[in-house]
Amino acid sequence: MLEGRGQKIVVVDNDRTVLELLQIRLEVAGYHAHIVRTGAQALDLLKHLHPAAMILDLRLADTDSFDLLQTIRARHPDQHFPILATGRGLVADDLRRALSAGAQNCLIKPYSGTDAVERVGRLIQACHFPGAHAIELTKPRAVA
Amino acid sequence: MDGSDLSEDSALKATISNTFDVLGWEIELAAARSIYLDSIIGRMIGLLPDERKAEFVESMHTVDLLSQQLTGLSAFTRRMSGEAPDVHAYVHTALEQIPLGALADRMGVALGGVEKDINDGDGAGDLDLF
């Protein structure tokens, strides 16, 4: 049985390989992936889309992802979808900033598609069952 | 061939760590495509009459093995990315060995090459990559 049940997931990442990888993995898991490469495109997409979750790269080329996180939360206070922040070479301060700017969880690149999809599923579940929610920072690689 | 016969601009160099990283993402993407193919075969088998299902089950197992193989290689490469020494290597001649233009272009950009404006072409709007 597909776990996603057609829930919409927005993925924001500069890297085309990461976007296609996540699109395939999310679609196979039963989600509907909406993928964009810039912060501006993400904001535009959110004008008419109510996603179940978002995966956001913290190293976007066109915008400061921490500002983008705050903008998304400020513009859509009625939407409480979880945001999974990702990025290569993130340090502890990046993780703290992301969580305080509105992300629920962080996943450091490089990660596997399986990890990302499982993490999204848990975040959505935690959103519907807040008692089960727990902030969790995974560190596949050493963080300075 | 190394980068000595090319100008500074055209001789693309990348760290070994970044090269493993980029390779790992591409293998992970290949694994995802394989998993997608596996799911398609699974759906097709579900539509077949029982007497014909056996013909495709072996194919599904083969694709499943391929997915596992690629997933394992991806995990290995990700780990190697973290272990690799911080030294640079020329990558442009290796990229030229990849006949699939889209793949070579994508890897070249990820390894530090120049990309056209990501707001142009297939980089704009809500993408549909497959």
Q: In chain B, positions 14-73, which contact chain A (CB-CB < 8 Å)?
A: 21-22, 24-26, 28-29, 31-33, 35-36, 39, 71
Higher pLDDT, A136 or B24: B24
Alpha-carbon distance B100 to nearest alpha carbon in chain A (angstroms): 14
**Interchain contact, B126 vs A19, CB within 8 Å:** no
Separation CA A137–CA A105 (nearest Å): 7
Q: Which chain B residues are within 8 Å of A2, Cβ to Cβ?
A: none
Q: Which pLDDT belongs to residue A95? A: 94
Residue B111 and residue B19 in contact, taking contact as beta carbons nearer than 8 Å: yes
Domains held by chain B: number: 1
- Please give the Cα distance from B88 to A101 (Å, whole number): 36
Answer whether residue B33 is part of any domain. Answer: yes
ipTM of the prediction: 0.82
pLDDT band at B126 (very low <50, low <70, confident <90, very high): low
Local structure of A77: helix, strand or coil: coil
- pLDDT exceeds cutoff 70 at B6: no
Residue A43: predicted pLDDT:
97
Whether residue B89 lies inside any domain: the answer is: yes
What domain range includes position B19?
13-111
Q: What average pLDDT does the segment B69-93 reach?
A: 94
Residue B128 belongs to some domain of the structure: no
Confidence of residue B3 (pLDDT cuts 50, 70, 90): very low
Confidence of residue B100 (pLDDT cuts 50, 70, 90): very high
Residue A127 banded pLDDT, cuts 50, 70, 90:
confident
Question: What pLDDT score was predicted for residue A62?
Answer: 87
DSSP 8-state secondary structure symbol assigned to residue A12:
E
The CATH number of A8-138, from 3.40.50.2300, 1.10.287.1080, 2.40.128.120, 3.20.20.450, is 3.40.50.2300
pLDDT exceeds cutoff 90 at A129: no
pLDDT at B9: 53
Contact call for A113 and B31, based on CB within 8 A: yes
Average pLDDT value over all residues in chain B: 85
Q: For residue B55, name the pLDDT band (cuts at 50, 70, 90).
A: confident
Q: Which residues of A touch B31 (CB under 8 A)?
A: 113
Backbone angles phi, psi at B43, to 5 degrees: -70, -40
Closest CA in chain A for residue B111: A15
Q: Helices marked H in A47-131 — which ranges?
A: 65-75, 92-101, 113-128
**Confidence at residue A5, expressed as pLDDT on a 0 to 100 scale:** 87
Q: Is the pLDDT of residue A25 over 80?
A: yes
Picking from B22, B28, B103 by the largest number of A CB atoms within 10 A of its own CB, the best residue to mutate is: B28
CB B34 within 8 A of CB B70: yes
Residue B80: per-residue pLDDT: 96
Chain A residues within 8 A of B29 when measuring between CB atoms: 17, 20-21, 24
State yes or no: pLDDT of B10 exceeds 60. Answer: yes
